[in-house]
Amino acid sequence: MDVTAAVARAPHQDLSIEQVTLDDVRANEVRVRMVASGVCHTDQLVRDQVYPTPLPAVLGHEGAGIVEAVGSAVTTVETGDHVLLAAAFCGKCRRCRSGEVAYCENLFAADFGGRRTDGSTAFSAGTETISSHFFGQSSFSSYSNVVEESLVKVSPDVPLETAAPLGCGIQTGAGAVLNELRPNPGSSLVVIGTGAVGAAAVMAGAVAHCEQIIAVDIHSERLEMAREFGATDTVNTRETDLTEEILRITDGLGADHVLDTTARPEVMRQGADALAHRGTFGLVGAAAPGTEVPFEIGKSLVKGWTFKTIVQGGSVPQVFIPRLIWLWQQGLFPFDKLVGHYDLGEINNCFRDSESSATVKPVVVY
């Protein structure tokens, strides 16, 4: 069938809105009519080939829509079901079999390979092959064939144009705190970078009853917003030294947990230097392969601190996303305040507005 999609064709170039052909669903797929899709920084990284999904490609990995056709092997959804879309996983490796699907050993093939396991793609334009199945979904298309592992069934009363970002960015920030860092009530949490991921982490810190939630950014308007979401303190690194300010705020003890969303080595080093004894540093920011951080390991040895990388908030989307929806419905997780809506034809503005902080979380509505 013919569909409308935003196609990434070259690094650092705008996506182009095109009519492309979508093939038939395979046994393990469903066809989803997209209602909305969040636009994430990872889409930009792949567009610019920091991560090497073959171009041209239909990207998008925070889809939300309605099931219109179901493959013969699919058992979890039916035609007409409302679904959110998250990252794909193989379901067969040791990590998946252990319930740690965010750390699937075949993650790059499942999410960035641009192909099905048989080498085929779902999209084409004449004789041209276009990469598909980005994160199992390629949601920058009016319709897409989505693998069953990416599906999260939700109630029809959940507004899809609002909930779409839960598929990646929001669940990453919230899950990093609630699933991975797991702060005790009364502990301290630093969140470096208060875009969509960081803002969700601040909200999660409030849900976890952290006593001190220190939001860090270079944009004063984002820091003001972070206070609305539960930040008790803010640090603008254009105005002050990050390590010194965290130590001041924590009365010299340092922070129990630091979560970095920026992947900037110099900022990460400053955050690690401000950890408390037995503190934990979590990284969710995406950096180019080969990026290194020079942590101090002399005086800090006696602190017994932990560094961990975190993917997708360490969550099982089919379990964690419904939990976030419940928290939102109870008024405890107001992620909807981050969302700004755009038409598909404005998708390139989504990237620009996100970078400039004009919109924290852009969502394309079909």
Residue 269 in any domain: the answer is yes
Residue 317 in any domain: the answer is no
- For residue 12, pLDDT over 90 is answered with yes
Residues 179 and 155 in one domain: no
Residues 115 and 239 in one domain: no
- Write the CATH number for 304: 3.40.50.720
Residue 127 in any domain: the answer is yes
The arithmetic mean of pLDDT across residues 222-232, rounded, is: 97
What percentage of the chain carries pLDDT values higher than 70? 100
Residue 328 in any domain: the answer is no
- 201, 118 Cβ separation under 8 angstroms: no
Residues 46 and 114 in one domain: yes
How many domains does the chain divide into? 2
Average pLDDT of the chain, as a whole number: 97
- Write the CATH number for 352: 3.90.180.10
- Helix (H) and strand (E) counts in the chain: 11, 18
Residues 31 and 131 in one domain: yes
Residue 109 in any domain: the answer is yes
Residue 325 in any domain: the answer is no
The arithmetic mean of pLDDT across residues 3-16, rounded, is: 97
- Which domain, by its residues, includes 301? 172-312
Nearest to 168 by CA among 57, 65, 87, 261: 87
Residues 196 and 338 in one domain: no
Return d(Cα 119, Cα 113) in angstroms, integer: 9
Q: Are strands 123-125 and 16-22 parallel, antiparallel or unpaired?
A: antiparallel
State the pLDDT at residue 19. Answer: 97
Task: Tell me the residue type at 106.
Answer: N
Residue 28 in any domain: the answer is yes
Residues 282 and 341 in one domain: no
Residues 149 and 17 in one domain: yes
Residue 74 in any domain: the answer is yes
| Tens-place pLDDT, residues 29-71 | 999 999 999 999 999 999 999 988 999 999 999 999 999 999 9
